[in-house]
Structure 1
Amino acid sequence: MAPPRVVWTDGTPASVERLRRAVLDALGGGPAVLPLDPRNPGSEELLAAMAPDEPVEEGTAVLMPTSGSTGSPKGVLLSARALLTSANATHERLGGPGRWLLATPAHYIGGLQVLVRSHLAGAPPLVLDTSGGFSPEAFEVAAGQLLQTQGPHYTALVPTQLTRLLDAGGAGLAGFGSVVVGGAALPDELRRRATAAGVNVVSAYGMSETASGCVYDGVALRGVRVQIGEGERIEISGDVLADGYRLRPDETAAAFVDGWFHTGDVGRIDGAGRLEVLGRADDLINTGGVKVAPQVVEQALTAHPSVASACVVALPDAKWGQVVAAAVVPSGAPPPAAQLREAARAELGGPGVPKVLRFVSELPLLGPGKVDRAAVRALLRGSSGH
């Protein structure tokens, strides 16, 4: 095959339209597409890592760079079959093809799949201009325009966007048949807020390697299987899987085994058969020999009505090996730290109590709604003496 077709998109509707046309061409057998954001300071390094002058692996429609949050960037090889299978299964779960409002970056898999879903629905998406950042006011205007068309109507957001929209009064969210929330875990308190506002939120779990969300509200999409493997690692199979990684046969062989993709996440399946994602395996905190999942502590903290969001990380400790540390964003006046610690203790026992807890105005982000845990760790280490 030929080298990938590099398409730069900066969030303007015109640049998204260029990407949309290139993706549709690739789905029909044209050159594979490599989407990139020129606003990213590391975009040139990311481009070089994708080997843009080398022929793309056979069968690739989209070469999707990973965020690089867990190491050096990798290019995920997505076929037309994987992309279309995911889009069709999503529509089936949500209630049929509909009109989409694109409000997340199109160069990430979540936003790119909105382009694919819209293609299958026979209606181009309404594109929110995010070149200058995300604006609740602009979203409300765009939502009003979309909701005047024949439905059903959908949009996809990350948790931080949903929070800002709810803080702004809802901004037309209740008019959507479904609001798919992915890119990061959906806190229980945020789901409760959305539901109380009449918003039908659907929590999506997935990644570039699964052509976007493949588990909705804990239940796998049609054709997708989920199991818990060694070390409680989540494993996924189905036609939504990528074909591997760009020019990395060893890493492909390690991650894609006998039709199963071995994720870097840990989880469990509850009595009702629903998947519960506990977080990245590398993020587990080993404190005094007890393993604590950060997401479980975060859920305990965000259940407090005065907490908007939280990020929990491990800090090294001479006595315990590691301790639980939390950065907390209050929704108003910060609650007493002792109160939050007691809430964590009541829910999780002593090992889940944050030994370090700091209130912050916002959490640093990495990618589309993903919290930059390394930055949080550095912030907490600096304030705790660890």
Structure 2
Amino acid sequence: MRAVGVDGSPGSVDELISALAEALDGGQAVLPYTSEVLRDAMEPTHPAEPGTAVIIATSGSTGEPKGVLLSASALTASAHATHARLGGPGHWLLATPAHYIGGLQVLVRSLLAGTTPSVLHASGFRPDDFAEAAAPLLSLDSPRYTALVPTQLGRLLDAGGPGLAAARAFDAIIVGAAATTADLRERAAEAGVKIVPAYGMSETASGCVYDGVPLDGVRVELEDERVCITGDVLAHGYRLRPDLTAEAFEDGRFRTSDRGRWSAGGRLEILGRIDDMINTGGVKVAAATVERILTAQPGIRDACVVGVPDPEWGEAVVALVVGTGCDVDSLRAACREEAGAAAAPKRVEFAEELPLRGPGKVDRTAVRNLLRRS
């Protein structure tokens, strides 16, 4: 196994691209990392599992380190299906960390397209830096793509100027890692930014459902609302964890921890995680349902809803929201009207932004701890 430290610098990205090219060609497996704790948890001195090209080290939502095992065939199947859906191979801008699957796939797609990716090397994410990194790529004639998380897209829309102008010039921007709210979709459309909301994870070699429609070669089934995925894009297990592998992967199918449904138009809608159900006074409330209602209200940009211990209700529905000019009673009334009395948050607090972990995912544990303390 070849462990490659990725700190965003040009040298580290170049090293990862070289190692990735060798791995896709049958060379030794690559473990990209930024955290030495996660690197060591993957036991890099132990041989990689057969058929593994890349190991994505992630702490996941529970904080338990896991290493997702991806073969060269899974990575290339995902990349080819993505190009087919977007309009053909092209040039890519890497704007998210390359040790996460969304960023890594930008490199895989570039390698398969025979193009050199542009890279946003600056720490943090600033619209002006995005515009500068995109400039060389946007002067080219072939399709231009990038992948962002919703927080990054929101900052581009808020800032306007060169960053937003650069975003408009892309033929497609994949938006993944977290849910793309209806408000963010509308703002992007009004600004002329062509986004493709994606659903997927490390276990599916990045996004496998684009704008509610599975990629070619991917099949999605619902098992009592649980999203189950089949296809060549799937990982083949977890690093040194046969128990977790057996639990999640069976008969060529990956059982996710997400709830979903099919819309009237036949598109997959993600309803939230199975373990995000809140039992309040004997009534089960889906946190994602309340979040969708809140973010649909005027002035609300983002929201995270969790359950906290309550002596009367068992769990109380509470919300941390990002927004201005919002009336708490109106927010609670909207939730009550659309999802029932139990869904109305017992408490609503405001923040300038939600705490995040990983590539744009809301840190629900941090939100829960914050609301419990307050």
Asked if Structure 1 and Structure 2 have the same fold, meaning a TM-score greater than 0.5 normalized by the shorter chain, the answer is: yes
% identity of equivalent residues: 62
Higher mean Cα deviation, 163-172 or 177-186? 163-172
Q: Is structure 2 residue 269 aligned with structure 1 residue 272?
A: no
1:317-349 Cα shifts (integer Å, max 9, x gaps):
22222221110111xx33111121122223222
Structure-1 residue corresponding to 2:318 = 325
**Aligned 1:20-169 pairs, distance under 5 A:** 20-37=17-34, 43-130=35-122, 132-169=123-160
1:64-102 Cα shifts (integer Å, max 9, x gaps):
112332241111110000000000001111111111111
1:360-384 Cα shifts (integer Å, max 9, x gaps):
111111101011111101111122x
User: Given residue 112 of structure 2, which amino acid in structure 1 is its aligned partner?
Assistant: L
Structure 2, unaligned stretches of length 5 or more? none
**Once the 2 structures are TM-superposed, how far is the Cα of residue 204 of structure 1 from its aligned partner?**
0.7
Q: Is structure 2 residue 15 aligned with structure 1 residue 18?
A: yes
Structure-1 residue corresponding to 2:251 = 258
Structure-2 residue corresponding to 1:188 = 182
**Once the 2 structures are TM-superposed, how far is the Cα of residue 6 of structure 1 from its aligned partner?**
0.4
CA distance in 1, matches of 2:22, 2:365: 38
On the 8 A contact 1:137/1:171 being kept in 2, the answer is no
On the 8 A contact 1:139/1:171 being kept in 2, the answer is no
CA distance in 1, matches of 2:10, 2:159: 24
**Once the 2 structures are TM-superposed, how far is the Cα of residue 276 of structure 1 from its aligned partner?**
0.9
Structure-2 residue corresponding to 1:372 = 363
CA distance in 1, matches of 2:102, 2:155: 19
Runs of 4+ in 1 over 6 A off after TM superposition: none
**Once the 2 structures are TM-superposed, how far is the Cα of residue 350 of structure 1 from its aligned partner?**
1.5
CA distance in 2, matches of 1:171, 1:378: 39
On the 8 A contact 1:32/1:61 being kept in 2, the answer is yes
User: Given residue 17 of structure 1, which amino acid in structure 2 is its aligned partner?
Assistant: D
On the 8 A contact 2:318/2:345 being kept in 1, the answer is yes
**Aligned 1:280-299 pairs, distance under 5 A:** 280-299=273-292
Q: Is structure 2 residue 167 aligned with structure 1 residue 176?
A: no
Structure-2 residue corresponding to 1:339 = 330
Classify 1:193/1:138 alpha carbon distance in 2 versus 1 (closer, same or farther; 3 Å).
Answer: same
On the 8 A contact 1:13/1:128 being kept in 2, the answer is no
Q: What is the DSSP-based 3-state SS (H/G/I as helix, E as strand, rest coil) of the residue aligned with 2:361?
A: coil
**Once the 2 structures are TM-superposed, how far is the Cα of residue 31 of structure 1 from its aligned partner?**
0.8
CA distance in 2, matches of 1:168, 1:140: 12
User: Given residue 190 of structure 2, which amino acid in structure 1 is its aligned partner?
Assistant: A
On the 8 A contact 1:67/1:367 being kept in 2, the answer is no
Q: Is structure 2 residue 350 aligned with structure 1 residue 353?
A: no
1:220-254 Cα shifts (integer Å, max 9, x gaps):
00000111114x21110100000101111121111
**Once the 2 structures are TM-superposed, how far is the Cα of residue 117 of structure 1 from its aligned partner?**
0.6
User: Given residue 154 of structure 1, which amino acid in structure 2 is its aligned partner?
Assistant: Y
User: Given residue 192 of structure 1, which amino acid in structure 2 is its aligned partner?
Assistant: E
Normalising by structure 2, report the TM-score: 0.96
**Once the 2 structures are TM-superposed, how far is the Cα of residue 145 of structure 1 from its aligned partner?**
2.4
User: Given residue 109 of structure 1, which amino acid in structure 2 is its aligned partner?
Assistant: I
1:163-182 Cα shifts (integer Å, max 9, x gaps):
11111112421111111000
Alignment root-mean-square deviation, CA? 1.2
Query: Which of 231, 239, 243 is the equivalent residue of 1:238?
Result: 231
Structure 1, unaligned stretches of length 5 or more? 38-42
* Count of aligned positions: 371
On the 8 A contact 2:298/2:326 being kept in 1, the answer is no
